[in-house]
Structure 1
Amino acid sequence: MSAPNKSYDPVEVEALKPEVIDRAKDEALAAVAAAGDLESLREVKAAHAGDRSPLALANREIGALPPHAKAEAGKRVGQARGAVGQALKQRQEELERERDERVLVEEAVDVTLPYERMPSGARHPLTTFCERVEDIFVAMGYEVAEGPEAEAEWFNFDALNIAPDHPARTMQDTFFVRPEKDGGEDGPAEGTGEGDSGVVLRTHTSPVQIRTMLDREPPVYVICPGRVFRTDELDATHTPVFTQVELLAVDEGLTMADLKGTLDHMVRELFGEGVHTRLRPNYFPFTEPSAEMDMVCYRCHGESVGDPDNPCRTCSSEGWIELGGCGMVNPRVLTACGVDPEKYSGFAFGFGIERMMMFRHNVEDMRDMVEGDVRFTRPFGMEI
């Protein structure tokens, strides 16, 4: 049996030569320093500190050395591997810190920007204002009445004492519903005119008043809100589709004084104390006598009239604001609805909600009310 090889020199093992260990360490440190990101550093770690790296292979050769040579070789390899491991750890910390700083900049969230979610819905100010008007009259004992928007000509014109040759019945003012062709296709019937269907898009909510008087016996106290249609161009002060509110009261002994008191109560509730109305003579086929109703300017209360130093934009320094038409129900209308004009009398008035909103909220362009821009509705409050 041979004796242990105590004279074995580890320098003679190529992988354990000092210059080879130093070269492997220097290459590893240079690769670590050159790593520009964490992915590159992982590749460097696998190449210079992994199981198949030069220093790891050199460490395996130590086991073949005699006992007295293992300590020196192990120290040399261990110091080299320790230096590489420390360099890897420091470089990883640096790259992680750089990554975190970059993420904070590149993925920063600007909390002042609008949030990315659907905004809460809101009821349109025309709807809420119309309901406010309804509440005023419901509190006085009136009922809210509704009717169809596509209406027969008899309800829209004839029953209201509007003659067949009245200008409002022409195509210039009224939308006529086209009759159906044979086979069900929309279009004018052969040999007929555009308006021969006898159906129109209602030009006012007065047909609702007619239907109400036909359906019930007096006394009648109703308010009739709803959309109406006229062939107007869409501009700052007109729209072909708008909202109208009309009122009808039929009872024994009603007079113009009752009408005036009702109007005064309405404008006070809408615009505050000190606001009142006046009536100017006018003509409407469905009322007799008829009048235009004005209310005193709720801004200047008439004080801007004749005062050039204190002009009022709301009423243009005229002192009054026109609201709409009114009057006592024409006896012919009562007769058409089966109401005895010798026993009963009535009054009625109507106005546009859009026009009233323009006055009340200083809206300059009526198109803002119909374009659906939330920037218009938000200032009125978010009523879900």
Structure 2
Amino acid sequence: MIDKINELKERIVSLNASSLEEVEALRIKYLSKKGEVSALFNDFKSVAPEQKRTVGQALNELKNMATERIAALREALETSDSAADDLDLTRTAAPLPLGTRHPLSLVRDEIVAIFSRLGFTVAEGPEIEDDWHVFSSLNFAADHPARDMQDTFFINRTPDVLLRTHTSSVQSRVMERTQPPIRIICPGRVYRNEAISARAHCFFHQVEA
């Protein structure tokens, strides 16, 4: 009888099922009242007394093995079915979260819109400028404080190149190539060598017209 038990153990270890219906069929085949495991328990009555302990222990192990194997198959299929139910390939994808426009951009656009209605056009220029367009053409004297290193960011390559301190440099460039009358608005970033605080920064936005 031990041989039959071992043979049945090998079959149970290799059990597989592709549906819950197949799992139920396996349960009936092995664990129902008329199943193969139950049949061995019925045969246990005819086992010699000296073998009952060994055979009984083997039978209990067989039943536990069959119960656990079939339960594992059922759980795996139920988990798979649940995951499949959660996945709807026809469902429209969730919308991607979109950012909002920066307050500075909103204010700039509003200012530009107001001046555009008054007949002004937008003019832009380089943020890295030369001394002529930032200072000299605007009648800044050579000893003007704005030209000092403490107020302006100069480029190390040459003292004549700097980060513009105002958008007036754009006006200089426009006047060089445009005949009056001129109606322009010059929004843009400017730079000044100032200590950063709640009221000041070395980089800010400016609008001139």
Going from structure 1 to structure 2, the CA distance change for 1:237 and 1:42 (only over 3 Å counts) comes to farther
Q: Deviations over 1:122-162 (max 9, x none)?
A: 54332232122111111111010111112221221122222
Q: Which residue of 2 aligns with 1:146?
A: 124
Is 1:224 the counterpart of 2:186? The answer is yes
Distance, in Å, in 1 between the alignment partners of 2:105 and 2:38 is 74
1:119: how far off?
Answer: 5.2
Q: Is the partner of 2:183 in helix, strand or coil?
A: strand
Cα distance in 1 for partners of 2:122, 2:68 equals: 80
Alignment partner, residue 50 of structure 2 = none
Residue in 2 that maps onto 1:83: 36
Contact preservation (8 Å) 1:142, 1:223: yes
Letter aligned with residue 120 of structure 2: Y
TM-score by length of 1: 0.35
Q: Which has the higher contact order (CA 8 A, sep 6+)?
A: 2
Unpaired runs of 5+ residues, structure 1, are: 1-19, 33-39, 47-80, 110-116, 181-194, 248-384
Once the 2 structures are TM-superposed, how far is the Cα of residue 101 of structure 1 from its aligned partner? 7.3
Deviations 1:33-76 (A, max 9, x none): xxxxxxx9534x59xxxxxxxxxxxxxxxxxxxxxxxxxxxxxx
C-alpha contact 1:232 1:238 (8 A) present in aligned 2: yes
Structure 1 or 2: larger helix share?
A: 2
Query: Residues 42 and 27 of structure 1: is their aligned pair in 2 closer, same or farther, counting only changes over 3 Å?
Result: closer
Q: Aligned partners of 2:201, 2:12: CA distance in 1, in Å?
A: 70
Q: Can you give the 5+ residue segments of structure 2 that lack an aligned partner in the other structure?
A: 17-33, 40-62, 87-94
CA contact (8 A) 2:187 2:207 kept: yes
* Structure 2 residue corresponding to 1:208, chosen from 127, 151, 170: 170
Q: Which has the higher strand share?
A: 1
Residue 29 (structure 2) aligns with: none
- Within the candidate set 73, 76, 95, 2:72 is matched to 95
Matched to 2:70, the amino acid is E
Q: Give secondary structure in 2 for the equivalent of 1:174.
A: coil
Taking structure 2 as the reference length, the TM-score comes to 0.59
What is the RMSD of the two structures over their aligned residues, measured on CA atoms?
4.0
Q: In the aligned structure 1, how far is the partner of 2:114 from the partner of 2:189? A: 19
Work out whether residues 176 and 201 of structure 1, in 8 Å CA contact, stay in contact via their aligned partners in 2: yes
CA distance in 2, matches of 1:25, 1:235: 88
- Can you list the C-alpha shifts for 1:280-302, whole angstroms capped at 9, x where unaligned? xxxxxxxxxxxxxxxxxxxxxxx
> How far apart in 1 are the matches of 2:121 and 2:182?
9
Once the two structures are TM-superposed, the CA of residue 218 in structure 1 deviates from its matched residue by 2.1
Question: Which digits, 9 at most, give the CA deviation of each residue in 1:321-375, with x for residues without a partner?
Answer: xxxxxxxxxxxxxxxxxxxxxxxxxxxxxxxxxxxxxxxxxxxxxxxxxxxxxxx
**Partner Cα separation in structure 2 for residue 235 and residue 142 of structure 1:** 34
Task: State the alpha-carbon separation in 1 of the partners of residues 105 and 141 from structure 2.
Answer: 33
Confirm or deny: 8 A CA contact 1:156 1:202 kept in the other structure. yes
Q: SS at 1:220's partner residue?
A: coil
Q: Which whole-Å deviations, capped at 9, do the CAs of 1:7-49 have from their partners, x for residues lacking one?
A: xxxxxxxxxxxxx3xx4445567x59xxxxxxx9534x59xxx
Letter in 2 for 1:230: R
Q: CA deviation at 1:235?
A: 3.8
1:239 alignment partner in structure 2: 201
Structure 2 CA distance for partners of 1:171 and 1:82, relative to 1, 3 Å: same
